[in-house]
A and B are shown apart, each in its own frame.
Chain A
Amino acid sequence: MQPVGAVVPLKVDIAEKTFRSARGVSITALQDLSFEVRQGEFACLLGPSGCGKTTTLRILLGLDKDFSGSFQLPQGGSNRIAAVFQEPTLLPWRTVEQNVRLALPKSLRAKNLDGLFDTLGLAAMRSLYPAELSLGLARRAALARAFATEPAVLFLDEPFVSLDEQTAERLRHLLLTVWSARPTTALMVTHNLREALMLSDRIIVLAPRPTHVLGVFDVRLPRQHRNSQVMSDLLRSFHHRFPDVT
């Protein structure tokens, strides 16, 4: 079997990213932002709203090329990337299953998706159109699309915002289930500390804009042991190290 993910870790070294508006106002979103995600690791970028997290992901996804600096994506393996955007971004004119299959490379188009749809609780929704889904289900479909491609690296941009807490919690567990079935180098953006502590191997803590890395918080404990007692211990030690981060 091919090693899952890649041999080279994700390396980011962005010197600067500045937005210039039409009226000449410029906003520097990122300055000297550098971090690494190790092979097969689930990392979180944690930072306050508006600090430049989405901007960072857009650069890594190749959607924004106007920045100075460099980055290196994991190579080897499939060298595909996958993204779960802040909005589900499903094509409204295609069914859930078509949405997932369209994202697959030609060689995987016909692959069996039963297991993935079952795990995500979408088995009965494969032939529905996105408008017939609740936001929670649409987010699951977006997760299905990302995982179906068997990517070398997975980017997630606050995939659980604007959901009620109960639905968000269920989705976090689903994410862990599909991720654990095939651990992929993953970088998830969030401003929710509890979510980051629950899901990640390492948390990359970002400063407010112009953002850079404040520090890295490693969570070495296996996820299945992170019960509520452990979580409050983790929270306490996180606050101890980063007293200004909420």
Chain B
Amino acid sequence: MTASETDGTRDAPPSMSGRRSLATALAPALTVAVSLLGLCLLWNLAAGVWPSRAFPGPGQVWQVLLREAASGDLLYHLGVTLGRVAAAYIVAMIIGSVIGVLLGSYRRVDRFFNPWVILFLNIPALVVIVLGYIWFGLNEAAAIGAVAVNKIPNVVVTMREGARTLDPSYAEMATVYRFGRLDRIRHILLPQLQPHLAAASRSGIALIWKIVLVVELLGRSNGVGFQIHLYFQLFDVAAILAYTLAFVAVMLVIELLLVQPVERHATRWRRRPA
């Protein structure tokens, strides 16, 4: 801070003109649309060159998608899988954050448990899933637990990093003014951890939904993973692609409509670059 700065508010960021901001907002969306359209065309072209049941074109996949949607199957299995993704995500984020913050705050505890973290980071997802089903049975809790256990070490590592960056002066201020435990978590801890929570969330959802499909394939009788398994046995590639694309679309919509707005809200206090 320079001594010459006056005792007033800083300049507000210059506001952009309405038209320019609309154009700048639309340009990336337009690029995405054109890019996806290009991929579809290429796909269509390739499927036309090598016509095969194993490689259906986008038109066929679309037909299957409409059929499955009309019968209600698509929505049901999407819903079931989404529920598992949400449950595993919440469990993994809560447990991983608590462990990560503890390890990041206590150096000695971290030194002791670090080998465990590395071990769990390197256990293949498949092994955890198989062991989960063997030890706890082919049930919902084992399925969700196995997915969460796969994700927890990643969350631990990210949140441990976050806890190491905590600024002690805020905690000291909270001590002097006798903040309650809840206020400390809500107003001191979580806002500082927010960037790391966001990072863990992003990589978390991407990883979790892929593992959930495997869990469903191995030991559940519904969900997108189960359907893909079913159509694999029927050699129905169009249906496999229909379910896959539908679920990818759902995850992207969630990212766009849930994750990004939440993040924007959580970082509203950061000064926009002038």
Which of A's residues lie within 8 Å of B, judged by CB? Answer: 61-63, 80-83, 85, 87, 89, 91-94, 102-103, 105, 125, 128-129, 131-137, 145, 149, 162-164, 167, 170
A91 touches B187 (CB 8 A): yes
- B31: CB under 8 A from chain A? no
Q: In the complex, what residues of B have CB within 8 A of residue A81's CB?
A: 176
Closest CB pairs A-B (n = 10): A136-B7, A103-B177, A93-B191, A164-B3, A129-B269, A93-B269, A131-B271, A167-B7, A135-B1, A89-B173
16 pairs across A/B with beta carbons < 8 Å? A62-B175, A63-B175, A82-B177, A85-B173, A89-B169, A89-B172, A91-B170, A93-B187, A102-B177, A132-B271, A133-B10, A134-B6, A136-B7, A137-B7, A137-B8, A164-B3
- B9: CB under 8 A from chain A? yes
- B136: CB under 8 A from chain A? no
Q: In the complex, what residues of B have CB within 8 A of residue A105's CB?
A: 178
Residue in chain A with minimal CB distance to B271: A131
Report the bound CA distance from A230 to B195 in whole Å: 55
- B179: CB under 8 A from chain A? yes
Map CB proximity to A onto B1-16 as digits: 1 under 8 Å, 0 otherwise.
1011111111000000
Residue in chain A with minimal CB distance to B6: A134
- B188: CB under 8 A from chain A? yes
Among residues 174 to 189 in chain B, which have CB atoms less than 8 Å away from a CB atom of chain A? 175-179, 183, 187-188
Report the bound CA distance from A133 to B8 in whole Å: 7
Residue in chain A with minimal CB distance to B188: A91
Report the bound CA distance from A81 to B172 in whole Å: 13
Residue in chain B with minimal CB distance to A106: B180
**A82-B177, A162-B3 are contacts. A132–B191 as well, Cβ < 8 Å?**
no
- B108: CB under 8 A from chain A? no
- B270: CB under 8 A from chain A? yes
Q: Which of B3, B7, B8 has the most CB of A within 10 A?
A: B7
Q: In the complex, what residues of A have CB within 8 A of residue B271's CB?
A: 129, 131-132
Q: In the complex, what residues of B have CB within 8 A of residue A91's CB?
A: 170, 187-188, 191
A128 touches B170 (CB 8 A): no
Residue in chain B with minimal CB distance to A139: B7
Query: A157 CB to closest chain B CB, in angstroms?
Result: 11
Report the bound CA distance from A93 to B265 in whole Å: 11
Report the bound CA distance from A63 to B172 in whole Å: 7
**A91-B191, A131-B270 are contacts. A83–B176 as well, Cβ < 8 Å?**
yes
B9 touches A63 (CB 8 A): no
Q: In the complex, what residues of B have CB within 8 A of residue A103's CB?
A: 173, 177, 179
A92 touches B177 (CB 8 A): no
Query: B176 CB to closest chain A CB, in angstroms?
Result: 5
Further pairs besides A62-B176, A93-B269, A137-B8: 9, Cβ < 8 Å = A81-B176, A83-B176, A91-B170, A93-B187, A131-B269, A132-B10, A133-B9, A134-B1, A167-B7
Report the bound CA distance from A135 to B5 in whole Å: 8
B179 touches A102 (CB 8 A): yes
